[in-house]
Amino acid sequence: MSFGNALTVFRKELMDSLRDRRTIKSMILVPVFLFPLGTIGMSYLSYHFIGQARRELPRTMILGAEDSPRLMGELHSFKEIKIVPSQADYKTLVLNKKIRVAIRVPRNFDASLQQGEQTHISIYYNQDEITSRFAAETVARFFNDLRDKTARSALLARDLPADSLEPIVVDRENVVPPEAEAGTLIGRLLPYFIIVLCLSGATTPAIDLTAGEKERGTMETLLCSPVSRTDLVIGKFLLVFTVSITTAILAITSMTICSIYAEKLVSTFGDGGFSSLPPTLAIRGIVAVFAMVLPLSVFFSGCLLALALFAKTFREAQTYVAPLMLMVVLPAATSFLPGVELNLKTVFIPILNTSLVSKEILVGTFHWGFIALIFATSCVYAGIAMSYAVRLFNDEKVLFRA
């Protein structure tokens, strides 16, 4: 193997790729602009529509409260709902979103409340509709407040302290500092994004340098050059690896910049309902995560080169690579599940181990033993993938498959 020859191949492939619009789109346009803007745009829309649903005055139907004028007076004075005339098909109206919620009041509610008897209130709402759920919460809060007020009045009438309703008050205090809590929130998502971006960034150049070469008829010419097959593979791999890492770095950098100015940007177009994004993560944590992802990116590059080499055309290679995306997304997303933790079992599972240790790093917890073991394991997997790619490049049956 000659590293100089491999660098020559790398420079040649890099110049060709930079002339290819598909590579520019996958490496620069999508990660720098579309991905972060789409993420922040969806976040803003979510906050906007949820805030709009909370601010809506829900149309509420009262059923069976004719003999309880005191309750009806309280409900009419409650400014957070809009009472509409009752109808028999109230459930259908709730399902069709004509009203948001319906309240079934039992007979003699006022009398039962005054006598201290237990009574039941039924709230009918649409679980699949967020505005209806918010309306049900509002109505439930009204009746909880009415219950507490009634109980306090009864206690005061008997010269008993109102605090006897709550003889024990439990206070809970979160020991996680705010910056670590923000790290936990982002730590669940950032490793997933980096891993997926490394794979997606490497996909287009890996296919183009293998199946694309075959489709254009330039593979034979390249193999006739006075460069060994191993040097060709290393040169092509260096390009795929470079594009993969560059895509992830550009995307995370763009998302970080957007997150800094997101609140100001959203407040310009929004209505102030967008809360502040979590503080920017420490540079040390992000750098450590990228260091853990490096061997994983090597693994992706080797696998993609090997898979795409079996294909005769660019489109055929895409069909071969598509299952790999699913095989990467599933273990990366598994790290979101409760109970999935970093231990001696998960440390040997590729992709999942990197996602889990990256999540710990972003919280500020550095398990150095696990970090070293995962890095070494990922390097072994990367070496296997690269060795297999080199072996395939030396197999004429694969290179010139009919």
339 lies in some domain: yes
| pLDDT of residue 272 exceeding 50 | no
172 lies in some domain: no
| pLDDT of residue 50 exceeding 50 | yes
Burial of 53 (0-12, 13-18, 19+ CB in 10 A): middle
d(CA 364, CA 245): 23
> Do residues 283 and 273 touch, judged by C-beta distance below 8 A?
no
DSSP state, 99? Answer: S
Q: Are residues 211 and 97 in the same domain?
A: no
| pLDDT of residue 278 exceeding 50 | no
Burial pattern 271-283, b for ≥16 Cβ within 10 A else e, equals eebbeebeeebee
377: number of Cβ within 10 Å:
17
247 lies in some domain: yes
Q: Are residues 228 and 341 in the same domain?
A: yes
293 lies in some domain: yes
Structural domains of the chain, count: 2
250 lies in some domain: yes
DSSP symbols for 201-233: HHHHHHHHTTHHHHHHT-HHHHHTSSS-HHHHH
| pLDDT of residue 319 exceeding 60 | yes
d(CA 357, CA 371): 7
Order of strands across the sheet with 101-104? 82-84, 59-63, 101-104, 122-125
Q: Are residues 189 and 266 in the same domain?
A: yes
Helices (H) and strands (E) in the chain, counts: 16, 4
Q: Are residues 217 and 115 in the same domain?
A: no
Please report the pLDDT score of residue 142 as a whole number. Answer: 94
d(CA 351, CA 338): 17
Contacts of 357-360 spanning 24+ positions with Cβ under 8 A: 357/292, 358/187, 358/190, 358/191, 358/194, 358/289, 358/292, 358/293, 359/184, 359/187, 359/188, 359/191, 359/335, 360/187
Final residue in a domain of this structure, among 128, 157, 186: 157
Q: Are residues 8 and 60 in the same domain?
A: no
Q: Who's near 161: CB < 8 A, 6+ residues apart? A: 155
Q: Are residues 37 and 57 in the same domain?
A: no
Q: Are residues 289 and 217 in the same domain?
A: yes
| pLDDT of residue 225 exceeding 50 | yes
Higher-confidence residue: 218 or 76?
76
Least confident of 46-50, 248-252, 256-260: 256-260
Per-residue tokens: 137:
């919460």
Q: Are residues 349 and 279 in the same domain?
A: yes
Higher-confidence residue: 280 or 85?
85
Q: Are residues 18 and 74 in the same domain?
A: no
Final residue in a domain of this structure, among 122, 157, 192: 157
Q: Are residues 110 and 186 in the same domain?
A: no
Please report the pLDDT score of residue 135 as a whole number. Answer: 94
d(CA 319, CA 311): 9
167 lies in some domain: no
259 lies in some domain: yes
Q: Are residues 138 and 194 in the same domain?
A: no
Residue among 359, 335, 198 nearest 286 (CA): 359
Please report the pLDDT score of residue 39 as a whole number. Answer: 66
d(CA 402, CA 393): 16
Higher-confidence residue: 127 or 47?
127
d(CA 192, CA 35): 14
Final residue in a domain of this structure, among 157, 186, 210: 157
169 lies in some domain: no
Burial of 221 (0-12, 13-18, 19+ CB in 10 A): exposed
Q: Are residues 202 and 294 in the same domain?
A: yes
CATH number of the domain within which 114 lies: 3.40.1710.10
Residue 331 domain boundaries:
3-43+178-399
Tens digit of pLDDT for each residue in 174-217? 776 655 555 555 656 777 888 888 888 888 888 888 888 888 87
Please report the pLDDT score of residue 361 as a whole number. Answer: 81
Tens digit of pLDDT for each residue in 353-365? 888 888 888 777 7
pTM attached to this predicted model = 0.65
Please report the pLDDT score of residue 336 as a whole number. Answer: 79
